[in-house]
Amino acid sequence: MRVWFLSAGLALMCMAQNAAAGTVLIVGDSISAAFGLDTRQGWVTLLEQRLKDEGFNDKVINASISGDTSAGGLARLPALLTEHRPDVVILELGGNDGLRGQLPTQLQQNLASMIDNSKASGAKVLLLGMQLPPNYGVRYTQAFAEVYSNLANEKKIALVPFFLQGIGGIPELMQADGLHPAAAAQGKLLENVWPTLKPLL
Q: Is 129 helix (H, G, I), strand (E, B) or coil?
A: coil
Domain range list for the chain: 21-200
| CA dist., res. 142 & res. 60, Å (int) | 32
* Mean pLDDT (the chain, rounded): 92
Please check the confidence at residue 2 and state whether its pLDDT lies above 60.
no
Q: Is 132 helix (H, G, I), strand (E, B) or coil?
A: coil
CA-closest candidate to residue 158, choices 128, 118, 181: 128
Query: Residue 28 region, left (φ>0) first, then alpha (ψ -120 to 50), else beta?
Result: beta
Please check the confidence at residue 24 and state whether its pLDDT lies above 50.
yes
CA-closest candidate to residue 148, choices 136, 138, 157, 139: 157
Q: Which residues are catalytic?
A: 30, 177, 180
Which residues does 121 contact at the CB level (< 8 Å), separation at least 6? 81, 85, 86
- What are 96-118's pLDDT values in tens digits? 999 999 999 999 999 999 999 99
* Structure confidence at residue 19 (pLDDT): 44
Q: What is the arithmetic mean of pLDDT over 70-84? A: 98
Please check the confidence at residue 64 and state whether its pLDDT lies above 70.
yes
Level-2 CATH architecture, domain 21-200: 3-Layer(aba) Sandwich (3.40)
| CA dist., res. 151 & res. 157, Å (int) | 8
